[in-house]
Amino acid sequence: MTEPTREDIFGLGGVASQARDTEIESQWLRQHFKLPYNPFPPSGISPDAPEGPPLKDEQGQEIGPQVGRFIMSAYRDRASTQGLVIIGAYGTGKSHLLRLIHNQINEWLGSGDEKALSIYVQRPRVEAQDVNREILRSLGEDTIRKMLWYCMQREIAKDSENQSEALAKLRVELEGPIFAPKERESSNRVARIFAIDNLQDYRKFLGAYDAHGWPRERLRDYFTELFTRSLETQSPLEVIEAYVALLLAPDEKSRATWESLLALGKRRKVPLMAAPEFLQDLLSLTRINGYVYTFLLVDEFEEVPSGYLLTRRQKANYMYTLMEMLNKVQVGLGLVLAITPEAWEALTSQAPPLQDRLPTVIHLGTLNADSIGRLMRFYLGRARQDADLEADDPLFPFSERLIDEIANKMPARTPRSVLQFTYQVISHCVVHDITTITSETTQTVLGNFLAMKAGETQKRRLGRR
């Protein structure tokens, strides 16, 4: 058999045996710029766990204190739903700010006797009910099962203490009618299963139950009653049964029951249930588990009033349902939306009452020289701190003069554009062995950068974003 011709079509020969480009780049950056790597994200989008400082709004006011006041006001005044809108064009840092809020709430308010919970929804889907599904996904399967059990175990303890009729009915279901003393003695098996020690964890309880060989299906009616009683739920039976099925499912089937719960109501002409009631149940579940307040952060909300994902009717239904959710849920909810200016204008014109329910507004705009410098110092400083490197000037290899030039010459000074541009400047220096960044360097990179951005803008206008 003839050997195939070995042709290096893609230029891959020798790559695996050579030093990686990243290692060469790192050595160059350490030697000339006192950096372990290019510190700026190439996409201009901060990491999923952002630590960068909030900058200033369109009016030149610091954003951090404004967000802090909203969080504390909402957290302390739990008797009403409060809303915050973050308005900004693409690349102004809306997603970064939302993720920062999310992380800060969960880190600083996520523990203690009166803890708060933040849930981040990356973008809305076709119907408002999907917000509730995103809440379930954010909490996760195991957390939901633990929360459900915590709600129900208190009711089980009450039933055991009061010898409730519901528990007596379950005993008969498990062991049959009890007449003789000997048979009454055998019913102690049920009492042992429902002992306080077993109630501490749903896995332990179900393990003790399974040891007697009884099918878990016999617990379904009792657990359904417990769930309804503990949450004072308004949900239809199909939803309650989905929660109960998740709790009762063996480990090998739990994933399937979880997906069933997430899929409830999809592909129905008539919704299975109203999203406001479902949200009320979810918030009741979190409150019973010790979260006195829940912050719901919805990113990219511009898709609802002005995107291409929804039909006109779906948009109207979505906004109506959102208003109903805000009207129905009066306690323990803070809603934060991130949206573009054009979409916010469309939203308030199509659903004026929403503006009244979301009174706090932060406008994100372009960055001035001071904010550009702060942003760059943060990324440069974090990279050096991670590698235990130091530079005499925190801005090195940039300078205050170069920052002023960037602020004056870059037309769209959003955080994303600034980070993309500075990444390209550093990369340009590495490739061309430029050890000192000058005005000529930044001007060369800026020309290429603006050409790239013009192409992106054209694609966005054509709807291919």
Residue 279 lies in a domain: yes
Residue 138 lies in a domain: no
Residue 239 lies in a domain: yes
pLDDT in tens, the chain (465 residues): 455 556 777 666 665 554 455 788 899 999 999 999 999 999 888 765 556 666 788 888 889 999 999 999 999 988 777 899 999 998 898 998 999 999 999 999 999 999 999 999 887 776 777 777 888 888 888 898 999 999 999 899 889 888 889 988 898 888 876 544 445 555 578 888 988 889 999 999 999 999 989 999 999 999 999 998 988 876 777 778 888 888 888 877 777 777 777 776 554 444 444 677 778 888 888 988 999 999 999 998 888 888 777 788 878 878 887 887 777 777 888 999 999 999 999 888 888 887 888 889 999 988 999 999 999 999 999 999 989 999 999 999 999 999 999 999 998 889 999 999 999 999 999 999 999 999 999 999 999 998 887 766 555 555 544
Number of domains present in the structure of the chain: 3
Q: What's the domain range around 117?
A: 63-127+275-359
Q: Are residues 220 and 316 in the same domain?
A: no
Q: Are residues 163 and 90 in the same domain?
A: no
Q: Are residues 377 and 437 in the same domain?
A: yes
Residue 10 lies in a domain: no
| pLDDT for the residue numbered 327 | 79
Q: Are residues 153 and 241 in the same domain?
A: yes
Please say which residue of 262, 283, 310 terminates a domain.
262
Note whether 367 and 413 are within 8 A (CB): yes
| pLDDT for the residue numbered 69 | 94
Residue 463 lies in a domain: no
| pLDDT for the residue numbered 226 | 92
Q: Are residues 382 and 351 in the same domain?
A: no
Three-class secondary structure assignment of the chain: CCCCCCCCCCCCCCCCCCCCHHHHHHHHHHHHHCCCCCCCCCCCCCCCCCCCCCCECCCCCEHHHHHHHHHHHHHHCCCCCEEEEEECCCCCCHHHHHHHHHHHHHHHCCCCCCEEEEEEECCCCCCCHHHHHHHHHHHCHHHHHHHHHHHHHHHHHHHHHHCCHHHHHHHHHHHCCCCCHHHHHHCHHHHHHCCHHHHCCHHHHHHHHHCCCCCHHHHHHHHHHHHHHHHCCCCCHHHHHHHHHHHHCCHHHHHHHHHHHHCCCCCCCCCCCCHHHHHHHHHHHHHHCCEEEEEEEECCCCHHHHCCCCCHHHHHHHHHHHHHHHHHCCCCEEEEEEECHHHHHHHHHHCHHHHHHCCEEEECCCCCHHHHHHHHHHHHHHHHHHHCCCCCCCCCCCCHHHHHHHHHHCCCCCHHHHHHHHHHHHHHHHHHCCCCCCHHHHHHHHHHHHHHHHHHHHHHHCCCC
Q: Are residues 110 and 169 in the same domain?
A: no
Q: Are residues 147 and 222 in the same domain?
A: yes
Q: How far apart are CA 401 and CA 292, in angstroms?
A: 49
Please say which residue of 359, 385, 415 terminates a domain.
359
436, 383, 430: which is closest to 23 by C-alpha?
430
Residue 464 lies in a domain: no
Q: Are residues 297 and 335 in the same domain?
A: yes
Please say which residue of 323, 343, 359 terminates a domain.
359
Q: Are residues 151 and 176 in the same domain?
A: yes
| pLDDT for the residue numbered 275 | 72
Residue 113 lies in a domain: yes
Q: Are residues 383 and 411 in the same domain?
A: yes
CATH number, position 111: 3.40.50.300
Q: Are residues 251 and 293 in the same domain?
A: no
Q: pTM for the complete prediction?
A: 0.80
If one counts every other C-beta atom within 10 angstroms of the C-beta of residue 276, the result is 20
Q: Are residues 378 and 354 in the same domain?
A: no
Residue 268 lies in a domain: no
| pLDDT for the residue numbered 391 | 95
